[in-house]
Structure formats: structure tokens, C-alpha cells
Amino acid sequence: MTPPAAAKDPVAATSSSAQAEALLSSFARAGYALARPPILQPAEPFLDLSGEDIRKNLYLTTDATGEELCLRPDLTIPVARDYLASPVAGQPAGFCYLGPVFRFRSGKPSEFNQAGIESFGRQDRAAADAEMLALGLQALAAFGIDDIEIRTGDVALFLALIDALDLAPVWKRRLVRDFNRKILAQDLSSLTVNPSTVAKDYEGVLAALAGSDRKAALALVTDLMSIAGATNVGGRTVGEIADRFLEQSTLKGGMLPREKITLIEDYLAINCHPDDAVAQLRALAAKARLDLSSAIDQLESRTGFMAARGIDTSLIKFSTSFGRGLDYYTGFEFELHRKNNGDMPLVGGGRYDNLLTRLGAREPIPAVGFSIWIEALVKNGSAS
């Protein structure tokens, strides 16, 4: 893989765009401090949070100690790491940024500019979510873009549904994983596979895992791979192999009940204005006798805060199947698109309350933010 051009200073790299600089200044006036994380970052957090599949898109190197490093592929994780290393870690704090990121994209430049905001530590989650959407819309307005689509979703609602369905842990992991990878709607039919179709090459392993939890599966697979002298198989990590064996073991024990598949399908079919979604979700929960009230209340509260900030909520499309394809999102997710411009967002973000714990925080820290693709804004803006 050919390396990208030499990295530039984060702000100097975008000095040709007065609009981008003005946007950054407006974020600073709104109370967001300028963050300038190093371009060279430890690779482990990106590989751990996004999976080994991202490796082929990273620009990697190794230092003298053997630590694997990469040119930052985005700015969320670097900004979060700097926050955790700062004296204000754990306290409410907001940061804005503007600079180059590096990621292999077939047919597109591997170095491109990204701006955005990350907000940490705010307990008023619905209000913070609404503020992110408002600031994202502000970014589009600064570039003269007003013909927009607001696409939103909420993975917390899906997690609440799955928790309420009283499924085996392996089914929960499979459903959440498929949702995050945006393949759940297509994959639901395979979750009712007949047990007789399960692979027979690993009958002994599957029998040993019957009724086990993920910790036991990890231990068994680790032992087996240690004996074989392998660290991965076909690019799959130990954790991924363990999850696959657990799925197969569960499938041998029986199919996912058809009524639960139908309920998930009904849930994923909700696609409308957020207020209408609230009504449909309450009706679905009541019919199925499931308690989803807390997650639905959060959606309703968030919409109210959006309206209070002057956002035209009639422009908002809420879909229960909407997701951004990243495992670390935990709640509200959104993308801002120019109308009739396909699936490439101009702005995208959401809530990721678990990320900072996975990066080493001792206690959970609420977090929400968004990224802006500057070149896309310049290309689509009226002043371009």
C-alpha cells in the first residue's frame, strides 16, 4: 500500500478554506476548546474498537519497541485519548478539531480533512444529543447547504428491545453485532436455521460449549489455538472464533423463536417522523408486553430538545434500522445528507457512552459528537 503524502500541520492543512476556519471559530465561541491530537497514534485502539478488518485501510508502522503505530484514520479516538490524559478527565468538557486524517479509500485520496466536535461528561444526554445535531446543521449552513436530509436512529432502543426479549447471551451478541454492521434485516432469516444444518466438523467443541458463557468459550478457544500454535484463523481473532462457536452451539440447541423474529422485523419497519415513531414504539411495546419506556422516553425528550433549539423537526427522518456501522455507538446516531446525493453523508455522529471506558476510563463517561467531511462540504456548498 503506497503511503500518503507527508502529514501537514492540522490547521495549516485547511488554511485554504476560510469557511472551515470560520466554522472552527464558531465552535470555539460555542464553548468547544480546540484539540490538536498527534497525527501518529497507537494502532491498538483502532484495531480493538473497529476490528481487524480496518487494518487494510490503515497506514501502519512499528516503533523501536515493537509497538504498532498508525497515521490517525479519524479524530474521535485521538481526541478521547487526549481528554482522558488531561486534568479534566471525568468532568464535562467539549472539544472541536480540524485537520487531516489518513485512511485508504479505493479511488479517493487517502489523506483528507476532517472537522468535528466531541462532548464528554455531560449527564443531560438528550439535551447534549440535540446540541450536536444543531451544531452539525450549523456547519452545513456555514457552507450554504440548506437542501438537506436529516437521518437519525437510536441503537439504545434496539438494545432495550433485545434485552427485553429474554434471549440467550449468544443471540443477543449476534443480533447486536448484525445491527451494528447494518446487515440484520438481511440476516434475520438465517437465525432460524434448522439445527441439522449446523457444521459437523466441530461436534466435540460445540458439545463442550453447550450452556457456556463467552468467558468460558474464550478460554476454550484460546487453549485450542495455543495447542495448535495459532493466533488467528482466516483473519479471525480468538474472540471472533469463540463467538462463532457459541452461535453454532446455540443453533444446535434450537432455532430463534419465530415470534421473536417477527417482533424484531416489526420493530425494524418503523421509519417516520420521531413523534410518530414514539407512538408506534409504545404501541409495539404494549402489544408485546415489553418494557421499553425508558429508551422511548429518551427519544421523545431528545426530539423536544431539538425543537427547543429551533431545529425544524419535520425534516427529521427517524428509522429504527438506522445505524452508522460502528460498534461503539450506544444511543442516538445521525447523518446529514444533501438531498438526492446518495448515501455519502456530509456530517455524521452520535452517542458513544462506552468508548471512554474501553479506552481506559475507570468510570463510565457520557460522550457524544460528530465528524464533518470538509471536502464534501466544499464540493456541495453554494460557495464552492
Residues 122 and 196 in one domain: no
- Residue 324 counted as domain residue: no
Q: Is 185 left (phi over 0), alpha (psi -120 to 50) or beta?
A: alpha
> Measuring CA to CA, how many Å separate 215 from each of 141, 142, 154, 209, 226?
49, 50, 28, 11, 16
Residues 6 and 73 in one domain: yes
- Residue 350 counted as domain residue: no
CB atoms within 10 A of CB 58: 22
Residues 93 and 135 in one domain: yes
Last residue of a domain, one of 234, 257, 280: 257
Long-range Cβ pairs for the range 308-314 (8 Å, 24+): 308/130, 309/130, 309/131, 309/133, 309/134, 310/134, 311/130, 311/133, 311/134, 311/137, 313/273, 313/274, 313/275, 314/273
Residues 105 and 178 in one domain: no
DSSP designation for 173: H
Residues 213 and 250 in one domain: yes
Residue carrying the nine cell digits 497515521: 71
Query: Residue 30's domain spans which residues?
Result: 1-145+360-384
DSSP designation for 374: H
- Residue 286 counted as domain residue: no
pLDDT given for residue 254 in this prediction: 53
Residues 8 and 123 in one domain: yes
> Do residues 300 and 120 make contact, with C-beta atoms less than 8 angstroms apart?
no
pLDDT given for residue 11 in this prediction: 42
| C-alpha cell of residue 219 | 478460554
Q: Can you give the pLDDT of all 384 residues of the chain as single tens digits? A: 444 444 444 443 433 468 888 899 999 999 999 999 999 999 999 988 877 778 999 999 999 999 999 999 999 999 999 999 999 999 999 999 999 999 998 888 999 999 999 999 999 999 999 999 999 999 999 889 989 999 999 999 999 999 999 888 878 888 888 888 888 877 777 665 444 444 454 555 545 554 555 566 556 656 665 665 555 555 566 666 666 665 665 555 456 788 899 999 999 999 999 999 999 999 999 999 999 999 999 999 999 999 999 999 999 999 999 988 777 899 999 999 998 877 789 999 999 999 999 999 999 999 999 999 998 888 887 644
- Residue 301 counted as domain residue: no
Q: Which of 195, 183, 175 is nearest to 264 (CA)?
A: 175
- Residue 296 counted as domain residue: no
Looking at the structure of the chain, the number of domains it has is: 2
- Residue 31 counted as domain residue: yes
Q: What is the CATH number of the domain that holds 15?
A: 3.30.930.10
Residues in the chain: 384
| C-alpha cell of residue 151 | 437521518
Residues 246 and 197 in one domain: yes
Gap between the Cα atoms of 103 and 48, Å rounded: 17
Residues 6 or more apart whose Cβ sits within 8 Å of residue 284: 263, 266, 267, 270, 290
Residues 196 and 248 in one domain: yes
pLDDT given for residue 112 in this prediction: 92
pLDDT given for residue 198 in this prediction: 43
Gap between the Cα atoms of 375 and 190, Å rounded: 40
Q: Which of 366, 321, 346, 345 is nearest to 129 (CA)?
A: 366
**What letters, b where the CB count within 10 A reaches 16 and e where it falls short, cover 351-360?**
bbbbbbeebe
Residues 237 and 375 in one domain: no
| C-alpha cell of residue 85 | 490524559
Last residue of a domain, one of 238, 257, 276: 257
Amino acid at site 95: F
- Residue 228 counted as domain residue: yes
Residues 119 and 239 in one domain: no
Residues 49 and 174 in one domain: no
- Residue 345 counted as domain residue: no
Last residue of a domain, one of 257, 275, 292: 257
The pairing of strands 33-34 and 93-102 is parallel
Residues 105 and 221 in one domain: no
| C-alpha cell of residue 266 | 416489526
| C-alpha cell of residue 140 | 452545513
Residue 317: strand, helix, or coil: strand
Strand partners, 97: 116
pTM for the predicted model, two decimal places: 0.80
